[in-house]
Structure 1
Amino acid sequence: MIAGVKGPASYFPAIEKKYGRPVAEWKELIRSSPLTKHMELVSWLKTEHALGHGHAFGLVAHTLAEADDH
């Protein structure tokens, strides 16, 4: 884990290493999905992209929080 990074972003290095895609690419997939609800997106990442629950949850939480900030 990167020192000082907390919350969902603390998973990002492990996600990139384990699944071989940059976080920016995962976020773009989430944003381009027709799904909009948090747990629907988590389930979709788990089912369609074989992400673990924690990784999927963290990516979705971080991506949706960014959308709320704009």
Structure 2
Amino acid sequence: MTTEKIKGPASYFPSIEKKYGRPIDEWQELVRKHHPAKHMELVGILKSEHGMGHGHANAVVAHTLAEDKQADS
């Protein structure tokens, strides 16, 4: 049995959930609620309105937008 290490933005998810006390699904819903704002605008919202650090906010936004783009394909 092999365990593949999670890479990319999703690798931050366990620490984001632990630090900010909300599941990733809720953060992604919040990002989608503000769509079609630009990437850095969405990062700014998570930072200023929810106290999220830049790296964590960027990871949530990047993963959410990538997921949505893939779903639209």
| TM-score normalised over the length of structure 2 | 0.88
Structure 1 or 2, whichever has the larger Rg, is 2
**Do residues 51 (structure 1) and 56 (structure 2) align?**
no
Q: Which runs of 5+ in 1 are unaligned?
A: none
Letter in 1 for 2:40: M
Name the CA distance, whole Å, in 2 between partners of 1:31 and 1:8. 17
* 1:1-70 aligned within 5 A: 4-70=5-71
Structure 2 gap ranges (5+):
none
Give the root-mean-square deviation of aligned CA atoms.
1.5
Looking at structure 1, the residues matched to 52 and 29 of structure 2 have their Cα atoms a distance apart, in angstroms, of 15
CA distance in 1, matches of 2:64, 2:35: 14
| CA 1:63–1:34: 2 relative to 1, 3 Å | closer
Name the % identity: 63
User: How many residues are matched?
Assistant: 69
Are the counterparts in 2 of residues 35 and 41 from structure 1 also a CA contact under 8 Å? Answer: no
- After TM superposition, the runs of 4+ consecutive aligned structure 1 residues lying more than 6 A away are none
TM-score, length of structure 1 as denominator length? 0.92
